[in-house]
């Protein structure tokens, strides 16, 4: 398949490389001067999408996605699919899809989970929104770049699933970290805390699979000085998107709101920038009640 790929950063580059390795014909474009094995680089986004059957975007945010969409949609071949894998706000995802469909294109919003490791290994999970025809067109490519793709509904449904999942993740990480810090102050051994909680009703992915306490549970960023993993600023980005969506849909999300405020404080004032999102634990360790 002839594929245009726009945004070849930490995630986009390995995703594009996997598609090229699988035998697809890839033309890429990025604002930065990048080179990716097997991908021919174009001089502009418009050039990268010329006669492509599928165009994939992997960009930083909704504003940039809208700008790139304005540029490439008129240059795409009718019937081709625009597949956005970036994490962006639901409103931008829906607006871009509407613009693409009005131009006779298929559109899918398909944010991913699995991070840079998953992108390199081809084990991402895709959460997709769009018509059945659009999802079917992108599906074989999801199978190469990932291990699972869920068709969540119409346009925007992929982004909705992604930010709801990550709102749970942020809230749960904070709850797990504050419970460890409380357990410390109550004199409870961290290993015993893990042994009990990981097999009791407080268990969660953050406790069982990604434990924020070093030396406890399976290997995680906590065992590596809290190097990401999943950086706190990316968690903050997703939490902010969840609150933007909650505002726009008039949904009451007090825990999501609190988690957003805590990660904002952590990233912007407390040195959390560049640290894994589980570094909330050492943050809580240092603090008292007031």
List, in order, residues 6 or more apart from 25 with CB less than 8 Å away. 1, 2, 3
Residues near ligand NAD (CB under 6 A) are 6-12, 29-32, 45, 58-60, 64, 67-68, 86-87, 112, 115-116, 234, 237
Q: Are 37 and 8 in contact (CB under 8 A)?
A: no
In the complex, the smallest distance separating the C-beta of residue 150 from ligand NAD, rounded to whole angstroms, is 15
Candidates 2, 162, 237, 286; catalytic one: 162
In the complex, the smallest distance separating the C-beta of residue 8 from ligand NAD, rounded to whole angstroms, is 6
In the complex, the smallest distance separating the C-beta of residue 215 from ligand NAD, rounded to whole angstroms, is 25
Q: In this complex, which beta carbon is closest to ligand NAD, that of residue 38 or of residue 115?
A: 115
Which stretches does DSSP call E strand in the chain? 2-6, 25-29, 39-41, 54-57, 81-84, 106-109, 112-113, 124-129, 146-153
Q: In this complex, which beta carbon is closest to ligand NAD, that of residue 112 or of residue 149?
A: 112
List, in order, residues 6 or more apart from 4 with CB less than 8 Å away. 27, 28, 29, 42, 48, 49, 50, 52, 54, 55, 56, 72
Q: Which residues lie across from 63 on neighbouring strands?
A: none
The answer to whether residue 185 is catalytic is no
Q: In this complex, which beta carbon is closest to ligand NAD, that of residue 94 or of residue 237?
A: 237
Q: In this complex, which beta carbon is closest to ligand NAD, that of residue 29 or of residue 284?
A: 29
In the complex, the smallest distance separating the C-beta of residue 154 from ligand NAD, rounded to whole angstroms, is 21
Distance, CA of 36 to CA of 17 (rounded, Å)? 6
The residue whose Cβ lies closest to ligand NAD is 9
**Looking at the annotation, which residues are catalytic?**
162
């Amino acid at each position: 398949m002839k594929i245009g790929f726009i945004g070849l950063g930490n995630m986009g580059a390995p995703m594009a490389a996997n598609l090229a390795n699988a035998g697809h014909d890839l033309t890429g474009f990025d604002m930065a001067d990048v080179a990716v094995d097997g991908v021919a680089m174009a001089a502009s986004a418009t050039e990268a999408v010329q006669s492509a059957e599928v165009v994939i975007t992997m960009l930083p945010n909704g504003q940039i996605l809208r700008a790139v969409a304005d540029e490439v949609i008129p240059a795409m071949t009718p019937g081709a699919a625009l597949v956005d894998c970036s994490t962006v706000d639901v409103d931008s995802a829906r607006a871009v899809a509407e613009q693409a469909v009005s131009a006779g294109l298929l559109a899918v919003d398909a944010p991913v989970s699995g991070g840079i490791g998953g992108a390199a290994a081809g084990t991402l999970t895709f959460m997709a929104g769009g018509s059945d025809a659009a999802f079917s067109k992108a599906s074989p490519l999801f199978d190469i770049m990932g291990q699972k793709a869920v068709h969540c509904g119409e346009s925007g449904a992929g982004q909705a699933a992604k930010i709801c999942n990550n709102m749970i993740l942020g809230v749960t990480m904070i709850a797990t970290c504050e419970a460890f810090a409380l357990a410390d102050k109550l004199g409870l051994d961290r290993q015993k805390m893990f042994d009990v909680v990981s097999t009791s009703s407080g268990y969660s992915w953050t406790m069982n699979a990604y434990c924020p306490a070093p030396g406890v549970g399976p290997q995680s960023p906590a065992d590596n000085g809290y190097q990401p993993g999943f950086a706190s600023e990316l968690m903050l980005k997703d939490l902010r998107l969840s609150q933007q969506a909650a505002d726009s849909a008039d949904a009451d999300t007090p825990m999501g709101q609190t988690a957003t405020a805590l990660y904002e404080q952590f990233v912007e004032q407390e040195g959390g920038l560049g640290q894994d999102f589980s570094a909330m634990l050492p943050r809580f360790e240092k603090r008292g009640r007031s």
